[in-house]
Amino acid sequence: MRHRPSTVPSLSHQQHAGSLHDPFRLSPQTYWKTESVYNEPQPVPTGIVLQQHIEPSFSRRIDLGNSRQNVPLPADILQNICSQDFNITLRSGPSDAIFVPRKTLCRVRIHPLTTSSSFPQCHRVVLSLPLDNILELWQFQCDPFTFRTLVNEHSWELSSPREKEVVFEDFGGFLMRRIHDCVTNDARFVATLTIDPGCNNACLAFEEIVHGYRTVSLLNINFRPVPWDAVVKDISQEYARLKDIQSAIKSVLVEGLDLTSKQAPQVMLDVVENVRDRPLVSWTQEEIYDGIPVYAQTIPLKMKIGNADSQDEKLTFTIFADAMDASTTKSYRLLISSPNDIMFKLESGDISQVEFYELTRQLKVSHHHEVGKSKTRTEILGFHPQDGVAGGVVGVLARDFLSGVGDEPQRYSAELRLEAIDATPAPINYNKYHESPPRPTAFHPKRNRHAKLIFHERVLFRTQEMLSLNLHEADPNTLAPVIQRKFALIADDIRTSRHRIMALLEAARPRRDPSLYSSLLDTLGVWVSSSGNGPMTIPARQSASSRLSISSTPGKKVRIPIWKGGSSPARASSPSSPTSRSISRPASVSKSATQFSSLGLKDTMISSIPQPLATRTTTSENGQKVKGHLYPDGISRGGW
């Protein structure tokens, strides 16, 4: 790398291959998005680093004050995330004699090609095993550096820098096509996940079984564990995304039912839902808590994270007792959760009788009593709800302060001070011999942050602190089953709503009521495919101006060179070869190349869902207008 200080040349006159101003440059289209995702880079006022150890088409100006460790987490970008579940063979170690391989479900979530001021190009691939541990994630960040390493490791024959850039921009689609092969033809295309027990790194390998006896390696991707702070962020955002999808599909179902009841109410009698192959999660199933809940209330308060400014939040406070009756109850416990964040769980320790009296030592206790019959402090405070005058732990915390914050905000106020999350990974240093050191340990500790809950009371012109309680984050081992159950409830609700939508469209067939079917299709079309019950459709990558002569004649298939593997001409000419399919892909949408099938996986999770949900209207193969192009097919309860 070569440093050039102070003077920064302008890019306005550069016309090299791959430049943003090259008139023959392929516009950066991806398989999930039709508009450009690049922005014109802003001039850097300080020195720059010229990346001359890679091709010029991947050269981007990077501020010297930034590094790869300072790149914002791509998990912040929720638009156009593609998620797919498929079956894999899991190997917990390199030796089959010690670790017996087994079949399990794997989920791959691909974040689109993103841009940022510090590092412009990056795909983020997140891998998880939802049936084993939903809170354990691995990730692979494909930037120009790691992509060049991937090309060298696989000995891919990408001759020109322009061809490398095209393949890099379509890396998400290239990976999804490998997953698609495993889903549609699991007898021929297989995937194996090997986890190194020493450093917890994972390697996802895609292979092709030729003629039933010969194995050909297609793609190997090395994943590294996601730090716990980023896991919390990923799970929270994925839960919020599914909640938005649940709300949208239920709203669409209500609109469809309302439209049917107004235009043709007799059709409602013919609505028959499909028979389910597995029971749903019961909505009346009780959650398992460590204790007996005795009080719960949601109140607004100020939450301060680190040194940032305070922000208004609504949190749910629940008090648990360790026994059913007062005679056997030894302690109470306070749990704070957020209705909008599934990973937000703060709890206090066990509040015993001694700790409760120490907690309330700042309170001035008094009681109206008759002469000669005074009560002690412990008799006034009590410990159980039916004891004393104050009502013990529940009376002081709940009926006095928590209820006061909700009912009398002009007098009572509460503030929650929480430690900040530092998700910056440790830098990787290299020695003077340019040898890569051993990878740092991949076991990221699940750090329990500490917090403090403070109650204030304002009387006349004075505000004073009345009570403070120390809290800590809940144990991640106890969060996993609760989070998995909540995801299962949402997945079952989405699947139930989709079954009802499909049953409603089946009852209003075009031959029976064409006008109603057309109206329902306009309302519910974002959740169905062109065939009415297909799982998912992926639009072909559209190409703008390029060096190729591309005609826009309707109905004519135009082939664009996207990928060139190392196969022989005879093998590449075979229609069943994966490399032959990827060497020249039709730009027009065809049924064989643009649909996912669930033959290899009977009940997939959410294959892919549009984000945002409202997409433009497209024309299907049958000439019908359908809104959107990505649809949730089957949702597996076990996957969550």
Which of 228-242, 519-533, 535-549, 566-580: highest mean pLDDT? Answer: 228-242
pLDDT (tens digit per residue) in 260-313: 888 888 888 777 655 455 454 544 444 555 678 888 999 888 888 877 777 888
In this structure, the dihedral spanned by the alpha carbons of residues 228, 347, 483 and 88, taken in order and rounded to 10 degrees, is 30
Burial call 428-443: b when 16+ CB within 10 Å, e when fewer: eeeeeeeeeeeeeebe
The rounded mean pLDDT for the chain is: 68
Whether the predicted pLDDT of 95 surpasses 80? no
Binned at pLDDT 50, 70 and 90, residue 170 comes out as confident
Question: What was the pLDDT predicted at 471?
Answer: 92
Whether the predicted pLDDT of 58 surpasses 50? no
Whether the predicted pLDDT of 537 surpasses 90? no
Half-sphere exposure of 565 (CA within 13 A, CB side): 21
pLDDT (tens digit per residue) in 570-603: 333 333 444 444 333 333 333 333 333 333 333 3
Binned at pLDDT 50, 70 and 90, residue 373 comes out as low
How many whole angstroms separate alpha carbon 214 and alpha carbon 312? 61
Q: Domains of the chain by range and CATH?
A: 2-226 (2.170.210.20), 292-367+374-423+442-474 (2.170.210.20)
Q: What is the pTM of this model?
A: 0.62
Which of 372-376, 386-390, 606-610: highest mean pLDDT? Answer: 386-390
Neighbour count for residue 386 (Cβ, 10 Å): 11
Which of 17-31, 200-214, 373-387: highest mean pLDDT? Answer: 200-214
pLDDT (tens digit per residue) in 381-411: 889 888 888 888 999 999 999 999 988 999 9
pLDDT (tens digit per residue) in 305-334: 877 777 888 899 999 998 877 778 889 999
Question: What was the pLDDT predicted at 289?
Answer: 59
Question: What was the pLDDT predicted at 311?
Answer: 84
Q: Which helix (H) or strand (E) holds 458?
A: strand 450-459
Q: Region 231-251: what's the mean pLDDT?
A: 86
Higher pLDDT, 7 or 517: 517
Q: Region 241-266: what's the mean pLDDT?
A: 86
How many whole angstroms separate alpha carbon 403 and alpha carbon 398? 6
Q: Which helix (H) or strand (E) holds 497?
A: helix 476-507
Question: What was the pLDDT predicted at 516?
Answer: 84
Whether the predicted pLDDT of 203 surpasses 90? yes
Higher pLDDT, 297 or 427: 297
Whether the predicted pLDDT of 64 surpasses 60? no
Which of 47-51, 71-75, 431-435: highest mean pLDDT? Answer: 431-435
Question: What was the pLDDT predicted at 204?
Answer: 94
Which phi and psi (to 5°) does residue 173 adopt?
Answer: -65, -35
Q: Region 53-70: what's the mean pLDDT?
A: 37
pLDDT (tens digit per residue) in 137-163: 999 988 888 888 899 899 998 888 888
Whether the predicted pLDDT of 446 surpasses 80? no
